[in-house]
Amino acid sequence: MKVTRRQFVKGGAAAFTVTFAAPELLSDLARAQGVRARNLVILYLGGGNDALSTLIPYTDPSYYSRRPTIAVPAANVLQVGTDASRVPLGLHPRLGGLKQIFDQGRLALIQRTGYPNQTRSHFLGTDIWSTANPSNAAGTGWVGRYLDSLPSPVDALTGWNTTRELPRVLQAERVGVPAIANPAGYAFASPNIGAEAAAERAAALRINSHVPIDRPELAFVYGSAQAAMTTLDRVATVASYAGTVAYPNTGFSQAMKAIAGAMVRGIGTRVFYVTTGGFDTHSNQNPNQANGTYANLMGNLNDGLIAFYNDLRNQGLLDDTLVMSFSEFGRRISENGSQGTDHGAAALMLVFGGRVAGGLYGTAPNLSLDPGNPTLENSGGDVAFETDFRSVYARIIDNWLGGSSQAILAGDFRNPRLTFV
């Protein structure tokens, strides 16, 4: 008998999904661990966000003289008042949603975050921000170490990574974080149907509950496979989440929708990771033109975040949620020859949520090339850091997650001026 591939697909054999009853034990476990349902969303802006185009010192003449083609005109910024050094600041014009959150007092803008001798490398920089360890950035992530600090057994859905690859910030010693880019695609396929497919899935579930001894790499993969098998049903409940607001049809916004769905369905997840990339704007940064590169970056970010914020508010979950953004570095102050900016130093962090004390934290740089200017470094080329990024993490660990920042960050980075939560 000759059967073509198409007939298989038509018969549903290639992607038949079997459903099982939810494993109640795990759900109970998850609920037990989420006594205080405080959620943390880690947002990574990939590529090194140009902080000076996000939060704009629109009265600094050096900002305009050093960025002749890519400065945002003062008239266009969304003013958010002056910071402690009395520098008036404004958000990028495409951040109208974030401006609303700011006006509601729920968005903290933490200026000039970084660490001494900051690297300009994407990879080392991302690793340092992820591990919170500038001297050895090869280890586990700070969020991973937080997960490791939770009492065992840690439920397989305690963390949710919306990207396909495990970012270093989530790497842990003993807790695996599932990568679920799209809950709708998170299903178990089978070449067979009915009882045969069920037998296959049951076999996969039993096989993957095996724990190999003295084979750590193999055990790691078993851990991933087991987590996949045991989270299928709960994730399926998220796939059907519609949201109370319309989320834009971008990868980033759909990931934010999945996060909101996971919170609404109460599947036990406490830490989420989401990313949006394209911030490595070496050329044609174009922050001023509709559909310019940077305007699109801001628009995409803004539209996903405000949809998420409004959805959670409608669902009554805003007070349980804190979102924190990071990026591996800020960018050079002066624009380069291709209307872009190269890798720089200090960065801007955003923190928002229902219990966040919003406002401007830290002080803006003075962008003048005066050699004695303490807010710049690298011969005035880059913004010098003022607030150690680890002190932002420390605040979140101690005051939001209820963990111990000194243990997780291996040092005391607490900073009493950071009162955003």
Where does this chain touch other proteins (CB under 8 A) — which range of 30-38, 97-105, 202-210, 412-420? 202-210
Residue 358 CB, nearest distance to other proteins (Å)?
32
For other proteins, give the closer residue by CB, 68 or 402: 68
Q: Which amino acid is at 305?
A: L
For other proteins, give the closer residue by CB, 174 or 210: 210
Radius of gyration in angstroms for the set of CA atoms belonging to the chain, rounded to a whole number: 23
Considering the rule CB under 8 A, would residue 114 count as an interface residue with other proteins? no
- Exactly one of 61, 65, 123, 374 binds other proteins (CB under 8 A); that residue is 123
Considering the rule CB under 8 A, would residue 81 count as an interface residue with other proteins? no
Size of the site for other proteins (CB under 8 A): 69
Q: Report which of 376, 374, 386, 384 is spatially closest to residue 415, judged by C-alpha positions.
A: 386
For other proteins, give the closer residue by CB, 166 or 322: 166
Residue 146 CB, nearest distance to other proteins (Å)?
18
Residue written as token pair 């340092």: 128
Q: What is 375-405 written as a DSSP string? A: TEETTTTEEPP-EEHHHHHHHHIIIII---H
> Could you tell me the two tokens for 360?
């401007």
Helix (H, G, I), strand (E, B) or coil at 41: strand
Sites for other proteins among residues 177-196 (CB under 8 A): 177-181, 185-192, 195-196
For other proteins, give the closer residue by CB, 105 or 194: 194
Sites for other proteins among residues 14-53 (CB under 8 A): 14-15, 46-47
For other proteins, give the closer residue by CB, 15 or 290: 15
Neighbours of 241 (CB within 10 A): 17
Considering the rule CB under 8 A, would residue 199 count as an interface residue with other proteins? yes
Report whether 87 contacts 57 (CB < 8 A). yes
CB proximity list for 31: less than 8 A, separation 6 or greater: 266, 268
For other proteins, give the closer residue by CB, 81 or 191: 191
For residue 153, whether the previous peptide bond is cis, meaning omega lies within 30 degrees of 0, is yes
Residue 9 CB, nearest distance to other proteins (Å)?
9
Considering the rule CB under 8 A, would residue 103 count as an interface residue with other proteins? no
Considering the rule CB under 8 A, would residue 283 count as an interface residue with other proteins? yes
* Packing angle of the helix pair 216-239, 24-33 (nearest 10 deg): 90
Residue written as token pair 């970084």: 114
- Exactly one of 25, 32, 84, 207 binds other proteins (CB under 8 A); that residue is 207
For other proteins, give the closer residue by CB, 35 or 138: 138
How far is the C-alpha of 326 from the C-alpha of 114, rounded, in Å? 10
For other proteins, give the closer residue by CB, 74 or 124: 124
> Could you tell me the two tokens for 222?
């078993």
The number of CA neighbours under 13 Å toward the Cβ of 46 is 10
> Could you tell me the two tokens for 59?
């009265």
Considering the rule CB under 8 A, would residue 239 count as an interface residue with other proteins? no
Q: Rounded to 10 degrees, what is the CA torsion of 209, 212, 218, 222?
A: 10
Beta bridge partners of 273: 42, 161
For other proteins, give the closer residue by CB, 156 or 397: 156
- Exactly one of 378, 399, 406, 415 binds other proteins (CB under 8 A); that residue is 378
Q: Report which of 206, 302, 184, 292 is spatially closest to residue 252, judged by C-alpha positions.
A: 302
Considering the rule CB under 8 A, would residue 259 count as an interface residue with other proteins? no
Sites for other proteins among residues 333-372 (CB under 8 A): 335-338, 340, 342-343
Report whether 377 contacts 82 (CB < 8 A). no
Considering the rule CB under 8 A, would residue 161 count as an interface residue with other proteins? yes
Report whether 343 contacts 119 (CB < 8 A). no
**By the criterion CB under 8 A, which residues form the site for other proteins?**
1, 3-5, 8, 13-15, 46-47, 119-124, 156, 161, 164-166, 171, 176-181, 185-192, 195-196, 199-200, 202-204, 206-208, 210, 212, 217-218, 220-222, 224-225, 227-228, 231, 277, 282-283, 335-338, 340, 342-343, 378
